[in-house]
Copies of this chain bind each other. A is one copy, B any other.
């Protein structure tokens, strides 16, 4: 049923156990050639001690110190572990080369990550052993689907790419092939004809379970369609990075789209399982597991509150269609969860298991990612348990056309602006305001798509046509939702080290040509 990933996971364990040579004590060494920031990461540095892969294998936990290799470099990362954005998954690479893991978690292969690693440099790997790391390691991404070239790629492996915003605003419904893609791992490849695929549904409380294949699911429950916008928690992160760098994909404003999703109501399935509408279980959670797995074979998994899943007006569905077509592999074929009003991280793709439980998911993605902190938190002192997992998202708005830095020709002395606005929790956008003078005066934009005050899962696009005489101007946009929440003015006060929820006013500078 799956291809590529099983091999990768096996390779991870292979390198974790392959080397088992006598212990060698590490000497404290100084790098003698160039500084960490000047060197080509992983290059051989004359004058540093040389360690074999066997030496490395002896430093695989905190009692001995945690060493890793990258190309020809050996690194003692013991003191970095607690700062690792991915939590203690870093220990998978303890005592071995990080390369097979980074092949999977390709986000690491960025200059700043490599430079950071180089600061922990203690030695060189025995010459000739560098290539061993990749022996038996096939490319787990080789079977990923083809994508439309218009997407702006942020990382190729795993594949993460967004829609150019000028294209986004053209359609209320984002065409599937232009829809942003956000993956953590290689894309599972489900062959329904094999009969291997099933959805398991269990309840901790009821000690009951259901197991359904896709046909059974479609037959057993009425279909329900929902028009809902999907947004990555990290959408607009690149704007936040201007305040101070964060860790994550460098999204512009296109990690968002709007689609028609068709599937069955999760509520109906859970009622069948014996779950009740009740005050007693409302703070329970429903965990979703995907077929996408990390190198330890742990699946991507997260959870949402049971109250959202059971709310007849919550519109949570298990979707098998997107925009009138069978789901594509990139969007979760054969089944994905659609949690309207909630961050994309909870819309689990390639859904294979649902569990109703008293507590929320204990997965990495629920506990140690997709959370926000105040701007004075950093990786050294953050305690992820103090913040709730992002579920409903705050109100946001974006100018899609023109784009930041563009030169625009005025028409009748007016600047035409177009964009989108959205808020979480089904709270419709009731007003979009534009300022061309840094907030001194505000113009109300026209909303282009119908908006309900509640149960409004789709975005609304907006436009404005404003007279302007200056040769350049900064455009500010901000939205107000049905609860009259609005956006913070800047990114400074909502800055967080993970770069999520970048919902400050969108501010762009444009040059203007009179007509």
Contact = CB atoms under 8 A, between A and B. Distances in A.
Nearest to A505: B493
A375 interface: yes
A493 B387 contact: no
Q: Is the interface of A mostly helix, strand, loop or mixed?
A: loop
Residue of A386, A390, A442 with most chain B CB atoms under a 10 A cut-off = A442
A440 to B, nearest CB: 9
B492 A455 contact: no
Given A282-B455, A376-B441, A431 B387 contact: yes
Residue of A375, A425, A431, A493 with most chain B CB atoms under a 10 A cut-off = A493
Interface in A273-287: 277, 279, 282-283
Q: How many copies does the complex hold?
A: 2
Interface stretch (A11-19, A407-415, A478-486): A478-486
A119 interface: no
A372 B442 CA distance: 14
Interface string A413-442: 000000000001101001101000001011
Given A305-B453, A376-B441, A425-B427, 8 more contacts: A374-B444, A375-B442, A392-B484, A484-B501, A486-B488, A486-B493, A487-B488, A489-B489
Contact of A494 (B392, B427, B486): B486
- Which of the four size classes fits the interface of chain A? 35 or more
Contact of A488 (B388, B454, B488): B488
A443 interface: yes
A391 B493 contact: no
Given A374-B444, A431-B387, A489-B493, A454 B484 contact: no
A307 interface: yes
Contacts of A282: 313, 454-455
